[in-house]
Amino acid sequence: MSTSADLSQSAFLLAARGEPVPHTPVWFMRQAGRSLPEYLKVREGVAMLDACMDPELVVEITMQPVRRYGVDAAIFFSDIVLPLKAVGVDLDIVPGVGPVVAEPVRTLADVEAIPDLLPEHVGFITEAVRGLVGELGGTPLIGFAGAPFTVASYLVEGGPSKEHAKTKAMMFGAPEVWDALMRKIAGIAAGYLRVQVEAGASAVQLFDSWAGALTPADYAEHVMPHSARVLAAAGELGVPRIHFGVGTTNLLGLMGEAGADVVGVDWRTPLGDAIGRVGERAVQGNLDPTLVFAPTEVMTARAADVIEAGRAARGHIFNLGHGVIPSTDPDQLKRLTEFVQGYDLA
């Protein structure tokens, strides 16, 4: 097993800190999962949340893309609603739908009924992370949590939503309930990240998948302070913090100010534009995930454009601009990984 000193010099952590890198580091959101035949095999007959609570399975699934692609970082296999399930919220991940909450949150009493997260709620996470760190050696592990707005949206809507109408209705019409809910989720997310880092995760990512549904003013007033609490708590643990959202072109500056060391950029925003918005921070991204379905030479030419744009940033971690699409050919991701890692930065 490698020492932490070896880890600190990994290309991924160097880039996250804005230090010179031997090559552009690369990993993929949702690299552990649906596009891999070996994943589908081990998940056969196992419900998503059951898989997330089985330490041996989590280790195996997290390791699969590291073995197959040789990426520069592993992302912990889990789901953003798992901490809620662990504290006792009645929810399930329905195939083809997503997280479904049995009794959506409507009142202050509903919020108060949600327990705070304690390390003993997620002992299986500690076990899985420790197992992974032992297997990963010099490859860093990224822990993650769902950001308060996105998790709140699932709790208020009762499941995935395109309009987030009930969520915004609470945010604008019942601000005291909204504030209590966001504080509750921020505390759970901070605790969940702490468990992962204390067990050995080298960095964390806060996913705000639905933040793009907000205007900058509403984000700044109703959401950013709560995400900032989570990121501040993670910052106290001394690990780099990545903050990512979808459709967040107009929020990138604020997402950085919330406390990110690295701002994740989705595929809709040219990386050069994003770098101008986030200031003296590293960036992560942002190849369109559909480009892996293009001819290899088209994919790699567009990847080269992303790498070149990333040179202007304080640091650049190559990634897709959203998660790996389930029908992606794993061999194409392997070719993309090798291209990025072999790209001459001289």
Active site residue 154: yes
Report d(CA 142, CA 148) in Å as an integer: 19
Report d(CA 42, CA 38) in Å as an integer: 6
Report d(CA 203, CA 17) in Å as an integer: 11
Considering 6, 17, 39, 43, which one is annotated as catalytic? 43
Active site residue 305: no
Amino acid residing at 331: D
Active site residue 34: yes
Burial of 102 (0-12, 13-18, 19+ CB in 10 A): exposed
338 contacts: CB under 8 Å, gap ≥ 6? 70
Considering 39, 68, 72, 154, which one is annotated as catalytic? 154
Report d(CA 184, CA 342) in Å as an integer: 44
The b/e string for 266-303 (b: 16+ C-beta within 10 A; e otherwise) is bbebebbebbebbeebbbbbbbbbebbeeeeeebbeeb
Amino acid residing at 234: A
Considering 30, 68, 194, 281, which one is annotated as catalytic? 30
241: phi then psi, degrees, rounded to nearest 5: -120, 125
Considering 17, 34, 106, 335, which one is annotated as catalytic? 34
Rounded (to 5) percent helix, strand, coil in the chain: 55, 10, 35
In 3-state terms, what secondary structure has residue 221?
A: helix
Distances (CA, A) of 85 to 30, 82, 129, 153, 194: 20, 5, 18, 15, 17
Considering 79, 92, 179, 305, which one is annotated as catalytic? 79
Q: Kindly report the length of the chain.
A: 346
291 contacts: CB under 8 Å, gap ≥ 6? 298, 299, 302, 303
**Mind telling me the catalytic residues?**
30, 34, 43, 79, 154
